[in-house]
Amino acid sequence: TVCCQAVEKQLKISGFKRNVDVLVLCLARQGLRSVPSLSQFHRLRYLWINNNKIQDLTFLNKNYCLAELYLNNNELTDISGALKHLCALQILLLHSNQLKKLGKTVKELKGMTSLQTLNLFRNPLAQDPGYRLYVIYFLPSVQLLDRKSVTQRERESAFHLHNHERSCVVQSIAFGKRVNVPLGPTAGCTGCTQPTRRLMMPSGNVPLLCSLCRVPLESPEDAGLVRAMTRSLMEFSSVDWNKVATCQERWLENRAEELQEKLTVPFQ
Q: What is the pLDDT of residue 217?
A: 58
pLDDT digits (tens, 9 = 90+) for 78-122: 999 999 999 999 999 999 999 999 999 999 999 899 999 999 999
Calculate mean pLDDT across residues 129-158.
94
For 154-180, how does the pLDDT look when each residue is reduced to its tens digit (9 = 90+)? Answer: 999 998 888 866 656 655 555 555 555
Percent of the chain with pLDDT over 70: 57
- Average pLDDT over the chain reads 77
pLDDT of residue 102: 95
- Per-residue confidence (pLDDT) for residue 34, from 0 to 100: 87
Query: Is pLDDT above 90 for 77?
Result: yes
pLDDT digits (tens, 9 = 90+) for 16-35: 666 777 888 888 998 899 88
The H-or-E segment that residue 135 falls in is: helix 131-138
Is pLDDT at 231 greater than 50 in this prediction?
Answer: yes
pLDDT digits (tens, 9 = 90+) for 52-76: 999 999 999 989 999 999 999 999 9
Percent of the chain with pLDDT over 90: 41
pLDDT at 20: 76
pLDDT given at position 140: 95
Which H, E and C letters describe 159-207, residue by residue?
HHHHCHHHHHHHHHEEEEEEECCCCCCCCCCCCCCCCCCCCCCCCCCCC
Give how far Cα 107 sits from Cα of 24, 81, 103, 252, 264, Å.
Answer: 27, 10, 6, 37, 42
Residue of higher predicted confidence among 122 and 190: 122
Is the predicted pLDDT of residue 229 greater than 80, yes or no?
Answer: no
Sorted by where each begins, the domain ranges of the chain are 1-165
Please answer whether residues 231 and 214 qualify as being in contact, where contact means their C-beta atoms are separated by less than 8 angstroms: no
Q: Which residues contact 212 (CB under 8 A, 6 or more apart)?
A: 182, 186, 188, 189, 226, 230
Class assignment of domain 1-165?
alpha beta
What's the pLDDT at 168?
A: 61
The CA–CA distances, whole Å, from 231 to 173, 186, 188, 228, 234 equal 22, 11, 16, 6, 10
Does residue 259 have a pLDDT over 90?
no
CB 35 within 8 A of CB 49: yes
